[in-house]
Chain A
Amino acid sequence: MPILSLIIWLTILGGLLTLFVGDQRCRMTALVISILAFVLSLGLYFGFDNNTAEMQFVEFAEWLPSFGINYSLGVDGISAPLIILTTFINVIVVISAWEVIKDKPAMYLASFLIMTGFMVGVFAATDSILFYIFFEATLLPMFLIIGIWGGPRRVYATIKFFLYTFLGSVFMLIALIYMGSQADSFAIKALHDLALSSKAQTLIFFAFFVAFAVKIPMWPVHTWLPDAHVEAPTAGSAVLAAIMLKMGGYGFMRFSLPIVPDASQQLAWLVILFSLIAVVYIGFVALAQADMKKLIAYSSISHMGFVTLGMFVIFGIIAKSADGVESGHAVMALEGAMVQMISHGFISAAMFLCVGVLYDRVHSREIADYGGVANTMPLFAAFMVFFAMANAGLPGTSGFVGEFMVILATFKANFWFAFLAASTLILGAAYTLWMVKRVIFGDIANDNVAALTDINQREKIMLGLLAAMVLFFGLWPNPMVDMMHATIENLVTQVTTSKL
């Protein structure tokens, strides 16, 4: 059964169907489709062979023979978990929009479903041009979601979002075409095997770097993210943080590292530098925010700093461990980056949804407008405190696992890198918990807070599902790690094999 195509086209065509059934019945339709897609994606987990780094669930069809572009899909250990995350978040998104979106709900849900199809396509594509098509296609639904259902400065935010990402990715397109014409094939596998000179590698590295650094985003090209997050509707922020950012991280692992290993090695210092700046400096920026969504947005950037750090610190680890005898720590760094991406998908989505719950009731995101929410919304307070703890990396939650793995592996490369990265565990705890303290605890601040009602059944399900995931992977990350282990070992081999 072509599971991947089924998921992609079910959500895209289902999105169109949602559009046509009208505003009355769109919610149920969207829910059924999103659950169906999630169930299908679970098939990827149960049918997955953990022992191979080869692509699985492979699909192939000739598409544009005159260009050598094929419709080829497949998953391995790094893409399968991301696809399952995507379809899971999609279910949450549909639940979150249930009665909140009153203006054109059919189109809203349709945009999310179609976008989910594209995002699954990004992770599933094994042809580089197909990847690029899906990568770019996600822009338009998100552009509309922010622009139509967003906050007061939505137009500025959404155009900035679109142009930043578009500018980043066009260079990647040139690089892909260039390599495609060298290799006579656009298959990602063929690009992995393509020999490239040092100069070409450097140029290609930067082309990819611009695309993925904007997407993930890294300091200093992160400025679109706080704007987009603040203005986007709640579900838009959740998808943006949970999945769209991961497309950048995924791109680094699928393209930059294996295709240009030598340039990656030479320029790893640059990425590590930016990552550490993101982790430390952006952490401080987050501390200063007065807007809850902005604070979470900056915290996302800081967390993504861990991801890029984990990905590029492997060169330092390999250099330290003579002759690559001990590649185990390199594997651990990459796995930590992956785990961090998945876990951040759950936690950041949950944090944004928590803010959304408050925003739906009070219509403010300012921390100063709240205080003592625990008194009127005890159950919600429990959830929010839990997610905040997870965001700060509390052991027992999934937020801890990834960060810990990355820091542990970084110690093998350079003590000071690890020291800087680790010190921000404290910083992360500071900004998240301080926000929680000001919003949740204390005396009831004003009449708005006094009038709050606790979360309803729908919100309980939504947050409960996410909390279960955070806890599950915090206590027992093995299913996820086992899935990606073989692929990442293979990736480390690829990265350590020079192409020169």
Chain B
Amino acid sequence: MENLGLAAPEMFLLCAICLILVGDLFVSEERKPLSYGLSQVALIVTLILTWWVSPEEGAVSAFGGSFIMDQMSVVCKAWILIVSIGVFLYSRDFVNSHRITNGEYYTLALSGVLGMMIMVSSATMLTLYLGLELLSLSLYAMVALKRKDEKSSEAAMKYFILGALASGALLYGISMIYGATGSLHFDVIATQLAAGGQGSTAAVFGLAFLVVGIAFKFGAAPFHMWVPDVYEGAPTSVALYISAAPKIAAFALAIRFLVDGLETAHNSWQVMLIVLSLLSIGIGNLIALAQVSIKRMLAYSTISHVGFILLGILAGSQQGYSAAMFYAITYSFTSLGAFGVILAMDRMGVEVNLLTDLRGLFRRSPMYAVVMMLLLVSMTGVPPTVGFYAKLAVLSAAIKADLVWLAVIAVVFSVVGAFYYLRVIKYMFFDEPVEPQPVLAPMDVQLGLTINGAAIILFGIFPGLIMAACAAAFGL
């Protein structure tokens, strides 16, 4: 209890959420943009606080050891907050023009961020579960924000039911592991299992349920069914939210459970993750080929990228974890930019839904086309963009773990994936526009997208900047 200050960022964010929620009720309709401004300020202050309380080195815990602040949580939290700032920036005009209630969008999104921060910092299974549920409940509600839209409600319903099932599986797994080790603390579980030899049967049994839960939250095949429907049905700004920061949180979820808690059972979960990873990379890339809706295409592409993140985790080495972390972080801001461009094009009721809607973007607004191209190239994994180093890091971890065959399959599918990314570039650059007028976006969104695109190249030339932080997070 002596270290309450360690949770200062979370506490501040919680207060800010309450303030915005209540304040929003009393603010007149014309001054609604206030919630946007306050939310951004809240995120920035939280970011500063996170940096403020971060320990110099090693890990510090609070709340009787159930809340932990280590290097990994600092880096993950920082990126979750930075990505969320971008999410809010790109969503602002969409939220306004599509008459989504301002206060609800921002408070829900902020509580999702709070949930992610708690997940990242949890040191017991229950804290983790609490954070996860806070995130999930916010997401369910956000998907349904377009109340009158059938697709939106349907997506929310599907997401909620499947999500509840996955949470149930996770809880069941947690109870099994609690039963096997008698503790909720990851460090105690780890020592218990290490002492008891190769993990008791009950723990491995519980592990299977944990992996199901993790795979669902990640959106890894074969637990990916909700992903395309939710991406398509949810308001684009919400799809943007789901595709970006929660991937970092899901990474932390996996690391906390599988590495902090159950690393001794590595042999057991490695096989499970190999199956998940192969299926995700394969199904994601193959089905994405057949999509005509850009949101569904990005959904399947996310699934395939999740496969790569899992590939890093299953390597089971510090290098692999840091590679997966690097992948999750870079993917989240790549995805942020891609949805950002779609959102920027989506205005005055002209919804961007089909891939062909991007036709001739290069002739209309070269800047957006170039940014989008860089993002797609990064997703393909072609240098000199940051996506290449993410793949390089993950593949080299897998190869060091003697999984060369897995790496070969992964790269072959990434060539398949190259086709659908190239097809989008083709629409943007080689085709004539259907409507000639340029895309208009406010200055700050333009600036954000430019920074986003530039970051893809900058981190592509100096990947060491993020990579060093990821390596440090795992004591490399």
The winner among A67, A155, A178 for most chain B CB atoms within 10 A is A67
Q: Is A139 an interface residue (CB 8 A)?
A: yes
The secondary structure that dominates the A interface is helix
B375-408 interface with A by 8 A CB criterion:
377, 380, 382-384, 388-389, 392-393, 395-396, 399-400, 404, 407-408
Shortest CB distance A146–B (Å): 9
In the complex, A217→B415 CA distance in Å? 19
Q: How far is the CB of B390 from the nearest CB of chain A, in Å?
A: 12
Binary per-residue interface labels of chain B (412-433) against chain A in the complex, 1 for a CB within 8 Å, 0 otherwise? 1011001100110110011000
Min CB–CB distance A180 → chain B (angstroms): 7
Q: Mark B357-387, 1 if CB is under 8 A from A, else 0.
A: 0000010000000000000010010111000
- For residue B81, CB closer than 8 A to chain A, the reply is no
B408 to A140, Cβ gap below 8 A?
no
For A147, what are the chain B residues with a Cβ–Cβ distance below 8 Å?
A: 425-426, 429-430
Q: A144 interface residue, CB < 8 Å from B?
A: yes
With A159-B426, A173-B392, A173-B395 known to touch, is A140 a contact of B414 (CB < 8 Å)? no
CA distance A132 to B389 in the complex (A): 12
A-B contacts, CB under 8 A, total: 87
Scoring A residues 158 to 195 as 1 if CB is less than 8 Å from chain B, else 0, what string do you get? 11001100110011011001101100000000000000
The answer, yes or no, to whether B467 is at the interface (CB within 8 Å) is: yes
In the bound complex, how far is the Cα of B282 from the Cα of A411, in angstroms? 50
Supply 15 further A-B pairs (C-beta < 8 A) apart from A170-B411, A177-B396: A63-B464, A64-B389, A64-B467, A129-B392, A133-B384, A139-B382, A144-B429, A148-B430, A159-B426, A163-B415, A163-B418, A163-B422, A177-B399, A181-B396, A181-B400
| Residue in B closest to A154 when the chains form the complex, CB atoms | B430
Give how many A residues have a beta carbon under 8 Å from the other chain's beta carbons.
33
Q: Report B444-476 residues with CB < 8 Å from chain A CB.
A: 463-464, 467-468, 471, 476
Cβ of A47 within 8 Å of any chain B Cβ, yes or no, is no
The answer to whether the Cβ of A277 comes within 8 Å of any Cβ in the partner chain is no
Closest to A168 in B: B415
- List of B residues within 8 angstroms of A132 by Cβ: 383
Quick check: is A54 within 8 A (CB to CB) of the other chain?
no
Q: Which residues of A contact B384 (CB under 8 A)?
A: 133, 137
Contact status A66-B412, CB under 8 Å: no
10 contacts between A and B (CB under 8 A): A67-B393, A133-B388, A143-B422, A155-B430, A159-B422, A162-B422, A174-B399, A174-B408, A177-B396, A181-B396
Given the complex of chains A and B, what is the CA–CA distance between A178 and B430 in angstroms? 38
Give B residues with C-beta under 8 Å from A: 322, 362, 377, 380, 382-384, 388-389, 392-393, 395-396, 399-400, 404, 407-408, 411-412, 414-415, 418-419, 422-423, 425-426, 429-430, 463-464, 467-468, 471, 476
- A170 to B389 CA separation, bound complex (whole angstroms): 13
List chain A residues, Cβ under 8 A from B392. 67, 129, 173, 177
Partner of A170, one of B362, B383, B415: B415
Please indicate the chain A residues that have their CB under 8 angstroms from the CB of B419 in the complex: 159, 163
Contacts of B468 in A (CB 8 A): 66
Q: Which residue of A lies closest to B467 (CB)?
A: A66
Q: Quick one: which of A66, A144, A174 contacts B471, CB cutoff 8 A? A: A66
Contact A67 B396 (CB under 8 A): yes
1/0 per residue, CB under 8 A from B, across A112-150: the answer is 000000000000000001001110110110011001100
Which residue, A129, A158, A170, has most C-beta atoms of chain B within 10 A? Answer: A170
Asked whether, in the complex, the Cβ of A140 is within 8 Å of the Cβ of B476, the reply is no
A148–B429 CB distance below 8 A: yes
**A438-470 interface with B by 8 A CB criterion:** none
**Complex Cα gap A196–B418 (Å):** 32
Closest to A135 in B: B383
The reply to whether A64 and B463 form a contact with Cβ atoms under 8 Å apart is yes
- B383 adjacent to A137 (CB under 8 Å): yes
Residues from chain A with Cβ under 8 Å of B383 in the complex: 132-134, 136-137
Q: What chain B residues lie within 8 Å of A166 (beta carbons)?
A: 380, 382, 415, 418
B393: which A residues are within 8 A, CB to CB? 67
Determine the chain A residues whose CB is within 8 A of the CB of B464 once the complex forms. Answer: 63-66
- A416 and B392 CA atoms in complex are apart in Å by 45
Q: Of all chain A residues, which has the CB nearest B380? A: A166
Q: For residue B425, which residues in chain A have a CB less than 8 angstroms away from its CB?
A: 143, 147
Shortest Cβ gap from B207 to chain A (Å): 29
B400 to chain A, nearest CB (A): 5
Chain A residues in 8 Å Cβ range of B467: 64, 66-67
Measured CA separation A180–B396 after assembly (Å): 9
Q: A167-B415, A170-B415, A177-B396 are in contact. Are A140 and B382 (CB under 8 A)?
A: yes
Which chain A residues border B380 with CB–CB below 8 Å? 166
- B399 touching A178, Cβ below 8 Å: yes
Chain B residues with CB under 8 A of A139: 382
Q: A66-B476, A148-B430 are in contact. Are A178 and B422 (CB under 8 A)?
A: no
Indicate if the CB atoms of A174 and B429 lie closer than 8 Å. no
A64, A65, A174: the one contacting B395 at CB < 8 Å is A174
Contacts of B412 in A (CB 8 A): 167, 170
Measured between alpha carbons, how far is A180 from B407 in the docked complex, in Å?
15
B377 surroundings in chain A (CB, below 8 A): 140
Smallest distance from the beta carbon of B417 to chain A beta carbons, Å? 10
Does A136 lie within 8 Å of B415, measured CB to CB?
no
Choose from B396, B400, B408, B423 the contact partner of A171 (Cβ within 8 Å). Answer: B408
Q: Which residues 308-329 of A have a CB within 8 angstroms of B? A: none
B88 to chain A, nearest CB (A): 31
A66-B475 Cα distance, complex, nearest whole Å: 11
B411→A137 contact, CB < 8 A:
no
Interface membership of chain A positions 365-378, coded 1 if the CB is closer than 8 angstroms to chain B and 0 otherwise: 00000000000000
- State the CA gap A143–B380 with chains docked (Å): 14
Given contacts A66-B468, A170-B415, A173-B395, is CB(A178)–CB(B404) below 8 Å? yes
Partner of A137, one of B382, B396, B414, B423: B382
Per the bound structure, the CA–CA distance linking A343 and B230 in Å amounts to: 58
Cα(A166)–Cα(B423), bound, Å: 15
User: Which residues of B have CB within 8 Å of A64?
Assistant: 389, 463-464, 467
A residues less than 8 Å from B476 (CB atoms): 66
Chain B residues with Cβ below 8 Å from A66 are: 322, 464, 467-468, 471, 476
Task: Kindly state the separation between the CA atoms of A173 and B393 in the bound complex, as whole angstroms.
Answer: 12
Contact partner of B411 (CB less than 8 A), chosen from A65, A144, A155, A174, is A174
Which residues of chain B are within 8 angstroms of A170 by Cβ–Cβ distance?
411-412, 414-415
Question: Which positions 214-237 of chain A face chain B at CB distance < 8 Å?
Answer: none
CA distance A167 to B418 in the complex (A): 9
Query: How distant is B41 from chain A, measured CB to nearest CB, in Å?
Result: 35
CA distance A134 to B382 in the complex (A): 10
Q: Which residue of A lies closest to B384 (CB)?
A: A137
Question: Chain B contacts of A159 at CB under 8 A?
Answer: 419, 422-423, 426
Residues of B within 8 A of A154 (CB): 430
Top 3 nearest A-B pairs (CB, nearest first) are A170-B411, A133-B383, A177-B396
Report how far A180 CA is from B395 CA in the complex, Å.
Answer: 12
Instruction: Tell me the minimal C-beta distance from A228 to chain B in angstroms.
Output: 14
Bound state CA distance, A180 and B422, in angstroms? 30
